[in-house]
Structure 1
Amino acid sequence: MRHLMSGNEAIARGAYEAGVTVAAAYPGTPSTEILENMVEYKDKIYSEWAPNEKVATEVAIGASIGGARSLTAMKHVGLNVAADPIFTYAYLGVNAGFVLITADDPSMHSSQNEQDNRYYAKFAKMAMIEPSDSQECKEFIKEAYRISEDFDTPVLFRVTTRVCHSKSIVEFGEREEVPFKPYSRNIPKYVATPANAKLAHVRVEKRLKDLEEYSNKSPLNKAEYNNKNIGIITSGIAYQYVKEVFGDNASYLKLGFTYPLPMALIREFSENVETLYVVEELEPFMEEQIKAAGIKCIGKELIPLIYELNPEIIAKVMLDKTYESKPLDVNVVPRPPVLCPGCPHRGFFYTMSKKKNTVVTGDIGCYTLGGAQPLEALDTCICMGAGFTAGMGMSKAFEASGRQGKVFGVVGDSTFFHSGITGAIDILYNKGKMVPIVLDNRITGMTGHQQNPGTGKTLMGDPATAIDVVEILKAIGYKTVKVVDPCDLKAMDEVIKEAEEADESYAIVTKRPCVLIKGLPAPKTKCVVDRDKCKKCKMCLNVGCPAIFFKDGKSYIEQSMCVGCEVCMQVCKFDAIGRVGE
């Protein structure tokens, strides 16, 4: 049976066919849809959204040790969070097969960097596999489990945004009902004390040699000989690009098993072509190793080191030709990212935008857009949880330098569970002169409305205990925890002023659900401009709502976009904005 599937959908299908029993992840573009599609197979696979990537990895590791084939998935920066357990599990080895999926993001479509996670395989000393299309996503994931169990190793399954989200034809197979591996206590293998780890490291180095020997005959690596004047070593989505540009005018060594590299196979290929190129996105991961092996090749001398590749780039740098693509005949208007109409974060950031000397340390989520025009109310955005902890560091620097005023640090509700709780503890424990603020919109917003520990529902749709952010902050020991509707600008301003003046520990939770949550009742009222009262002051534009713009020289609110949050109505000093539909 043939289906048109994205790479993420195909990975989920492949995990099902491979006999996976446990899957855990934290949502992050471009990996999110893997676990979302795993729910389709919930009669066979237990799936969960974990609070963060480290927890997800440890859950999957525990399942592997317990005898069940397991999977964890995350975007590239998530592997930084999960690095602690994965480096050790690479030493220990598996019981049942274990695969970690890293979804890298060249060109940073939805990320704060474009790190190349192939180096994690080399650094952690574990096998790595890279598919090039959706069919390979499905088939390669099954091979990954065989490699994991045959070589007693975790496997890093590396995909990129284009592989995750592009669609191609996938041929379905049947599920392999893999028997559970029996579990028996094995302290030397699974208890990572220094004495045990020393012996494990010896096993790891031998395993790498065995893996390299296998990679030379792996079905995931294949040579395609055509014109031998040009030979191209490539992997992942880059294979699709070079094949589109060169066709039969070049020979290819397509690598799907990319660590350890099949050096004997690479050497044989190099001897059969006249000029050897290595084409890979981002870092010279393969090129460095190939050159270190004494094999002459051309790589980053031509191929760009940053951003995604595409056929146009390949044709230009390798052939000095213009690639004849067929662009869509569509004139797309540039649209910078912006908070949605009615976004509950807008009121908070509007309030903070008026406090020009106040520092607001931000975080990863919808609220990162609080740094965009016209609000421009964020000073930093580094990584998950740093809204609190970077703010803590800044507050200590300001204390030392004599700068007055408090720092306000923000995280979302999902980010609070991910990595904000420890930061909140640090602020309190070390007497930070700052105010932690949780922007609680009742969902994991930026990645597409996934459940989290505060929503009262699991990934698989089951009711769950809803963890209360307010009660956690109180339990930690904050003397005052204020809950406020961020769209009530007067209340929001009063709470911020109170926090600035507070002598004791003070935390804020803004509570208002994301307007896009399914099942919420439609707004009863909307906002409308009385054109006769509009003074053209443009104050309403300062809230940054996409529903508001100037039309015929005066303010106008597009009714199809307005959700009646009334932030604009509170900002207007001339009562030119009112409600309709009451």
Structure 2
Amino acid sequence: MSGNEAIALGVYEAGVKVASGYPGTPSTEIMENLSKYPGVYTEWAPNEKVGLEVAIGASFAGARALATMKHVGVNVAADPLFTASYTGVCGGLVLVTADDPEMHSSQNEQDNRNYAFAAKLPMLEPSDPSEAKEMVKLAFDLSEDLDSPVMLRITTRVAHVKGVVSKGEMNTSHPACGINKIPGKLVMLPAIARKRRVVVEERMAKCRELAETADYNRIEEGDTKRGFITAGVSYLYVKEAFPQAAVLKLGMCWPLPEKKIRQFAAMVDELYIVEELDPFLETHIKAMGIACHGKDCIPNQGELNTAIVRQGITPGSGPELFAPVELPNRPPNMCAGCPHRGIFFNLSRMKVFVSGDIGCYTLGFLPPLSAMDSCVCMGASVPIAHGMAKALGEDGYNQVVSVIGDSTFIHSGITGLINTVYNNSASTLIILDNRITAMTGQQQNPATGYNIRGEAASSIDLAALCRAVGVKHVYKVNPHDVVETRKVLKEAVELKEPSVVISEAPCVLLPEMKERKPVSYFTNQENCVGCMSCIRLGCPAISWTPFAEGEAEQRGYRKNQKGISKIDEILCNDCGQCASLCKFNAITRGEGK
């Protein structure tokens, strides 16, 4: 199993009844796999805050509950998380945070161990799939024993690596759910919260005692000339690079077992802390007055690997033995037939600042489209455009547009649009509605009409929603009709009040799109004049063949023609964007040849 698959199995075996989350790499597959197990209610929430609040509600009813999200999702869920630390739980409550060192699919590289420290919550950190499965079960037990939410931190490597996992028995021992009114524990008015604040400290003291004796914090004896304290996947890198060394493996990375750390430090001649990203362990161990090496040897950016760890500790020691294989560069690109391409092609030809958002459409930033000028976090595109329009004043009404996907608009774009309308901004919002949450692997959302299990569900009418919050000018376009879409965009941008353009076309990777009869566009090369309009779309199905000097005339083309374009009819997904741009009848739709 992968780490995510193993966590799903562990959650099922732990007897969890309710699980809610928002898709985000590298956490997505936990919920996808958990939804296949019987007896567990699973859902995709509109955002991570809602997902955690759903899990908190289930816990208050006595059920074991799970919330999943990627690392930046915890930023969204932080409000209820910090207060849930005060309320404690009724049924076990676990939040899985999936951090992304190296930013494989993220806008930042934050280290969420800092959330456990700040929110005063215990955090477990597995190093492989088998441990992930067992630790998530342990997390629910701890949650109920400590009356506390528990965080489980994984990273991209642990989430996606494969490992052997043993199945266990399902826990059926916890009591049935029910309503139990305990406002003195659950109503966080200041007078009650002050009392619960004391409980939080008492709980953390108890947790520190547990950390000293727990099996998941263990000393592995070995060569004491050089000793290592480590956690998570970094443990595996240390064991590969220095298999004979003494190691203190921390399965609970907060709170720390201070007595065990002092004991281990006294055993070794030199102490090294090996951890990805922030010097979290190092900072707290140094605060204990213990001398150690850490970020003076180990990078504080990106993923580690065995070669980096070995070279950092013993420079010149032959890291080539562990060096990862260099893979060929593969620049990201929108799929052939992607509906977002037509929008960004038009925006690249309009003199506007494009405030972008998080999704596969962020690829609109890349050449040859180069049509995105900012991207901060989910939902930020809308208020950033509003803020820019206000800063620019009267002259800025037609200079700024924001772009956001359907799932991201529901996640956190709606409030930005409400603010835009309420404060009378002259900015245009483009909602890229491709009927799915595409970037994270085709997950459903409240606008698709289906739930996490593929069952029919209510579907938000985005146009009606925009009108309901006060937008008077709402347009719908087919982005594959590039010319008509540009006319609508220009009209919307010229308005001196809020406007919304909804780009409606399904993602080409949806099953129903893949199952269509194979029809594609092909090039009538004798008609091609080399204008390169189709090439500028950046579609991977369209290639350019340059002419050598004098070749154009030899082949019967125009004297100064630089080359011709060609459509790969196997890659073509029948969107027609290129045909809508071609003025020379060089692109024709028909059965693939």
TM-score clears 0.5: yes
Residues 73 and 334 of structure 1: is their aligned pair in 2 closer, same or farther, counting only changes over 3 Å? same
Q: Which residue pairs with 1:295 in the alignment?
A: 290
Q: Which residue pairs with 1:55 in the alignment?
A: 50
Tell me the distance in 1 between the aligned counterparts of 2:400 and 2:566.
36
Q: Tell whether the 8 Å contact from 1:482 to 1:495 is kept in structure 2 after alignment.
A: yes
- Tell me which of 353, 364, 368 is aligned to 1:359: 353
Are positions 1:565 and 2:560 aligned together? no
Q: CA deviation at 1:555?
A: 1.1
Tell me the distance in 2 between the aligned counterparts of 1:18 and 1:81.
26
DSSP-derived class of the 2:50 partner: helix
- Tell me which of 460, 465, 483 is aligned to 2:453: 460
Q: Tell whether the 8 Å contact from 2:397 to 2:494 is kept in structure 1 after alignment.
A: no
Q: CA deviation at 1:322?
A: 2.1
Q: Which residue pairs with 2:274 in the alignment?
A: 279
Are positions 1:216 and 2:212 aligned together? yes
Q: CA deviation at 1:228?
A: 1.0
Q: Tell whether the 8 Å contact from 2:99 to 2:110 is kept in structure 1 after alignment.
A: yes
User: Aligned ranges for residues 193-272 of structure 1 at < 5 Å?
Assistant: 193-248=189-244, 250-272=245-267
DSSP-derived class of the 1:532 partner: helix
Residues 327 and 202 of structure 1: is their aligned pair in 2 closer, same or farther, counting only changes over 3 Å? closer
Are positions 1:188 and 2:198 aligned together? no
- Tell me which of 162, 177, 194 is aligned to 1:167: 162
1:536-559 superposed Cα distances (whole Å, 9 cap, x missing partner): 232221101011112364211111
Tell me the distance in 1 between the aligned counterparts of 2:321 and 2:105.
25
- Tell me which of 173, 179, 185 is aligned to 2:175: 179
Are positions 1:25 and 2:21 aligned together? yes
Task: Compare 548-557 and 526-535 and name the one that shifted more.
Answer: 548-557
Q: Which residue pairs with 1:387 in the alignment?
A: 381
Are positions 1:512 and 2:505 aligned together? yes
1:421-474 superposed Cα distances (whole Å, 9 cap, x missing partner): 111111100011101111000000000000000111111222111111111011
Tell me the distance in 1 between the aligned counterparts of 2:115 and 2:176.
29
Tell me the distance in 2 between the aligned counterparts of 1:327 and 1:274.
28
| Unaligned stretches of 5+ residues in structure 1 | none
Tell me the distance in 2 between the aligned counterparts of 1:258 and 1:71.
20
DSSP-derived class of the 2:512 partner: coil
- Tell me which of 4, 8, 11 is aligned to 1:8: 4
Tell me the distance in 1 between the aligned counterparts of 2:329 and 2:569.
22
Alignment RMSD: 1.5
Residues 398 and 446 of structure 1: is their aligned pair in 2 closer, same or farther, counting only changes over 3 Å? same
Taking structure 1 as the reference length, what is the TM-score of the superposition?
0.96
Q: CA deviation at 1:575?
A: 2.4
Q: Tell whether the 8 Å contact from 1:363 to 1:386 is kept in structure 2 after alignment.
A: yes
1:181-239 superposed Cα distances (whole Å, 9 cap, x missing partner): 55411111100111111111111111111111110111111100011111100000000
Tell me the distance in 2 between the aligned counterparts of 1:327 and 1:107.
17
AA aligned to 1:167 is K
Tell me the distance in 1 between the aligned counterparts of 2:281 and 2:517.
55
Q: Tell whether the 8 Å contact from 1:99 to 1:155 is kept in structure 2 after alignment.
A: yes
Tell me the distance in 1 between the aligned counterparts of 2:485 and 2:303.
42
- Tell me which of 489, 498, 514 is aligned to 1:496: 489
Q: Tell whether the 8 Å contact from 2:248 to 2:264 is kept in structure 1 after alignment.
A: yes
- Tell me which of 70, 74, 81 is aligned to 2:69: 74
1:20-65 superposed Cα distances (whole Å, 9 cap, x missing partner): 1110000000000000000121x21000000000000000000001
Q: Tell whether the 8 Å contact from 2:426 to 2:495 is kept in structure 1 after alignment.
A: no
Are positions 1:532 and 2:542 aligned together? no
Q: Tell whether the 8 Å contact from 2:123 to 2:150 is kept in structure 1 after alignment.
A: yes
AA aligned to 1:555 is S
Q: Which residue pairs with 1:425 in the alignment?
A: 418
Q: CA deviation at 1:570?
A: 2.0
Tell me the distance in 2 between the aligned counterparts of 1:59 and 1:88.
14
Tell me the distance in 2 between the aligned counterparts of 1:309 and 1:326.
12
Q: Tell whether the 8 Å contact from 2:8 to 2:30 is kept in structure 1 after alignment.
A: yes
Tell me the distance in 2 between the aligned counterparts of 1:282 and 1:332.
24
AA aligned to 1:575 is N
Are positions 1:315 and 2:290 aligned together? no
Taking structure 2 as the reference length, what is the TM-score of the superposition?
0.94
Q: Which residue pairs with 2:551 in the alignment?
A: none
Q: Paired residues, what number?
A: 573
Q: Which residue pairs with 2:537 in the alignment?
A: 543
Identity %: 49
Q: Tell whether the 8 Å contact from 2:99 to 2:154 is kept in structure 1 after alignment.
A: yes
| Unaligned stretches of 5+ residues in structure 2 | 548-563
Are positions 1:40 and 2:36 aligned together? yes
AA aligned to 1:563 is N
AA aligned to 1:535 is V
Q: Tell whether the 8 Å contact from 2:355 to 2:381 is kept in structure 1 after alignment.
A: yes
AA aligned to 2:484 is A
Tell me the distance in 2 between the aligned counterparts of 1:124 and 1:478.
39
Tell me the distance in 1 between the aligned counterparts of 2:198 and 2:329.
55
Residues 181 and 500 of structure 1: is their aligned pair in 2 closer, same or farther, counting only changes over 3 Å? closer
Q: Tell whether the 8 Å contact from 2:424 to 2:497 is kept in structure 1 after alignment.
A: no
Q: Which residue pairs with 1:479 in the alignment?
A: 472
Are positions 1:154 and 2:158 aligned together? no
